[in-house]
Amino acid sequence: MIREVTGDILLSKAHVIAHGIAVQEHFDHGLALALRERWPSMARDYRHAMHGKHLNAGEVWSWAGVDNDGSTRNIVNLLTQNMVGDGPAAKPGKATVENVHHALKALARHLQATGATSVALPRLATGVGGLDWADVKPLIEQHLKPLGIPVVVYETYRKDQQADEKLH
């Protein structure tokens, strides 16, 4: 089941929050920035992970930490964007449909392997990533709908507004 909602994805009750990032993400724009501000250890852990293992666009990196209420918050970072340039001056490039396809396929495998019961994600790769939602939505349907778990797509962002996810 795929449900499109309006609200603040940071308040999601879904088992997993998934979102798109660049390979060498700085977590300084869009949803990535909001996630870094809410769970600063995720951004630090990602930087440490990148020093230990080179990740490529189309892969995923998962993180689990403690939420404000003491529960575990699971976040899966989908690497949808390559970098433009080298070294410290490198900037995130635009997302590609191919990278989104591979990242969603990897997300589906991850959700199955971990027994996730639901997933929330934004209109993946359409903000900073620059893709058209009409190109991304069919990929979400292709890779996540067959899992048989609730998939909540945050279509419109409304800060501090709890979405009607219908997860319970």
Q: Indicate the CATH number for domain 2-157.
A: 3.40.220.10
Give residue-wise pLDDT tens across range 11-52.
999 999 999 998 888 888 888 888 899 999 999 999 888 887
The full set of domain ranges for the chain reads: 2-157
Which residue reads 């900073």 in tokens? 128
Query: What pLDDT was estimated at residue 22?
Result: 87
**105 Cβ partners below 8 Å, 6+ apart?**
143
Closest CA to 128 of 7, 27, 53: 27
The beta-strand segments (E) located in 85-164 are 91-95, 119-122, 151-157
Confidence label for 101 from pLDDT (cuts 50, 70 and 90): very high
- Residue 116 clears pLDDT 80, i.e. is over it: yes
**126: confidence class by pLDDT, cuts 50, 70, 90:** very high
Least confident of 25-29, 54-58, 87-91: 87-91
Determine the pLDDT at residue 109: 98
